[in-house]
Amino acid sequence: MKEYFGNVSKINYEGPGSKNPYSFKYYNPDEVIGGKTMKEHLRFSLSYWHTLTANGADPFGAGTMLRPWDDITNEMDLAKARMEAAFELMDKLNIEYFCFHDRDIAPEGKTLQETNENLDEIVAYCKELMKKYNKKLLWGTANCFTNPRYVHGAGTSCNADVFAYAAAQIKKALEVTKELGGENYVFWGGREGYETLLNTDMGLELDNFARLLQMAVDYAKEIGFTGQFLIEPKPKEPTKHQYDFDTATVLGFLKKYNLDKYFKVNIEANHATLAQHTFQHELNFARINNFLGSIDANQGDPMLGWDTDQFPTNIYDATLAMYEILKNGGLAPGGVNFDAKVRRASFEKEDLFLAYIAGMDTFAKGLKVAHKLLENGELENFIKNKYASFSEGIGKEIVEGKVGLKELEAYALKNNEITNKSGRQELLEAIVNQYIFED
Ligand code: XLS
Ligand code: CA
Ligand code: CA
């Protein structure tokens, strides 16, 4: 098999002192942290679309990426070359998992039938390479947003023929995900949203979207697909209002349609910030609702209002994300998928390695710091103490449901001096900094 990245060899752990850009400074796969190896904690995954198919085009200019498969013109040959390159990358970067949309890995044909045949051919090849390289599929999904037929959405389209097409596509994507042993299946909203309510029946669109999800749940049962279903929230882009706005909205939606027991969330950092939340907020909210499934690790630019999907290099955010993930007891069967793309000006093939190394090292270091923070319990103890009034006296009675408004009025009438304690935000931020600097 051709080598696509011959000038880069296997990336090894060399430790924080290393100046070799092609080495891990913090990601040491077999290092044990709190009873699990880093590899088991992090379950890193490569995103097929950003890594193998993105060409760097933006609304102002054509693609810039220089890739070793640029000279291949036959679409199926190109798909196979990218597949081989994907496994070489995963192998050299020591990444165990990957994720894809159906249309990332195989080209669309003239008919749905032909498209499915293309997919089958590539999936067979993918299966072979997975075995050869010992790699696993974290999740599969269907791209129901790129093709112009999805102009009004897929499951929320006003056109029943489009709904049917999306259903057929999802059916096939589920079969393929099962065939490759995928551990999860993702629904990201795509164009499930609206531009203006002047032309939108939001009630019907949401009911139909729930119908589509129910059909997927039923079909998974029928074919014996036991992976976890995930919904990936995003507040805007491509539509002005995306129905899966954020984790809380998704949970409310699923509960309304009695679908909540079948789904968890795949939380993307950049989508959290577009919804005006921190990544930690979304993870925390999912965790306390037993709803955290997997993450798309990336970062946005705080000065831009769109989805930039940059590789995550912010150690502060990664630490707090890993803090929530550790408190969640890990992510499995989910993982840390780098839904991130190199910048348009980082167009050389080596940039792919450098970007993944940066992201993996950031999360590895974040894991180490978060573990120490949790182990020493400084934040946990502070929070416990802050809410101590609910473990005794009147607070305990409130929590245990033993008092109502009348009893609380009687209590408040007698309790003339209320004292509060400081929230100590600056101290806590300094403690987190200290752990990041000193670890
Ligand atoms: C787009 C989403 C998408 C999903 C998978 O913003 O991040 O790439 O992760 O469909
Ligand atoms: Ca994503
Ligand atoms: Ca994104």
**Ligand 3 mean position, distance from CA 63 (Å):** 19
Residue 296 has a CB neighbour count (10 Å cut-off) of 25
The pLDDT score that the predictor gives to residue 1 is 85
Ligand 1 proximity of 192 Cβ (cutoff 6 Å): no
CA 132 to ligand 2 center in whole angstroms:
28
Q: Which atom of ligand 1 is nearest to the CA of 145?
A: 10
pLDDT tier at 269, thresholds 50, 70, 90: very high
Dump pLDDT digits (tens) for 45-70. Answer: 999 999 999 999 999 999 999 999 99
Q: Which atom of ligand 1 is nearest to the CA of 234?
A: 6
Q: Which residue, by CA, sits nearest to atom 3 of ligand 1?
A: 188
Give the model confidence (pLDDT) of 95-153 as tens digits.
999 999 999 999 999 999 999 999 999 999 999 999 999 999 999 999 999 999 999 99
Tens digits of per-residue pLDDT, 346-379? 999 999 999 999 999 999 999 999 999 999 999 9
268 lines ligand 1 (CB under 6 A): yes
- Indicate which residue's Cα is closest to atom 8 of ligand 1: 339
Q: Beta-carbon neighbour count of residue 194 at 10 Å?
A: 20
In whole angstroms, what is the distance from residue 120 CA to residue 113 CA? 11
Query: Could you tell me if the CB of 307 is within 6 A of ligand 1?
Result: yes
- pTM for the complete prediction? 0.98
pLDDT value of position 439 = 58
Q: Please give the mean pLDDT across all residues of the chain.
A: 98
Q: Which CATH class is domain 33-376?
A: alpha beta
CA–CA gap between residue 143 and residue 150 (Å, rounded): 10
> Taking the CB of residue 178, how many other CB atoms lie within 10 A of it?
18
Residue 186 is predicted with a pLDDT of 99
pLDDT tens figures, 185-241 = 999 999 999 999 999 999 999 999 999 999 999 999 999 999 999 999 999 999 999
Q: State whether the beta carbon of 102 lies less than 6 angstroms from ligand 1.
A: no
The answer to whether the CB of 90 falls within 8 A of the CB of 46 is yes
pLDDT in tens, 392-410: 999 999 999 999 999 999 9
- Give per-residue pLDDT as tens, 146-189: 999 999 999 999 999 999 999 999 999 999 999 999 999 999 99
Closest ligand to the CA of 188: 1
Domain ranges across the chain: 33-376, 379-437
Residues of each annotated binding site for Mg(2+): 232, 268, 271, 296, 307, 309, 339
188 CB near ligand 1 (under 6 Å): yes
Q: How many CA atoms lie within 13 A of 403 on its CB side?
A: 16
Residue 141 CA, closest ligand 1 atom number: 10
pLDDT > 90 in the chain, percent? 99
Catalytic (active-site) positions: 101, 104
